[in-house]
Amino acid sequence: MRSKLVNCRRDGANRKSAVCDDDDDDDDDDDDDDDDDDDDDDDDDDDDDDDEMMMMMMMMMMMMMMMMMMMMMMMMMMMMMMMMMMMMMEMQLKMMISTDISCRYRPLEDLQIMLSPGRRTQSSESIMGDDATFRLRRSLQDQYTNLYMEYKELSENHEDLLKDLNRKSDSYARRENKYREEIENLKRELENRVLEDQTGGDSIHRVDNLYNRIQERIEDLNLTHLQVKNEHEQDLLRHFRAKLYDAASKMKTEDNQESTSGVPQAWLEKTTNLAKELDRFKEQAERLTKANMTLAANIKKFEAHQGVLKQEREVAIRKAVAIKKENARLKEEIEKMPASLQHLEKFVSPSLPSSKMEMVKSLRSSSTEGIKASDLETLEPPASKSKELSRELQRYYEVSKRLRHVLDNDRRQLNHVREMHLSMMECKTELEKILRESYDKISNTTSRHDKEPISQEDRQRILEDVLSRDDAIKLLYS
What's phi and psi for 366, nearest 5 deg? -75, -25
Full pLDDT tens readout for the chain, 478 residues? 444 444 544 554 455 454 445 445 444 555 555 555 555 555 556 666 666 666 676 677 777 777 777 777 777 777 777 777 777 776 776 676 666 555 554 544 555 555 454 444 444 444 444 677 777 778 788 888 888 888 888 888 888 888 888 888 888 888 888 888 888 888 888 787 767 665 555 566 777 788 888 888 888 888 888 888 888 888 888 888 888 888 888 887 776 665 555 566 677 788 888 888 888 888 888 888 888 888 888 888 888 878 778 887 888 888 888 888 888 888 887 787 777 666 666 655 554 445 445 554 554 554 444 444 444 443 444 456 567 777 777 777 787 777 788 778 877 887 887 787 677 666 566 777 787 788 888 777 765 555 566 777 888 888 888 778 777 777 776 6
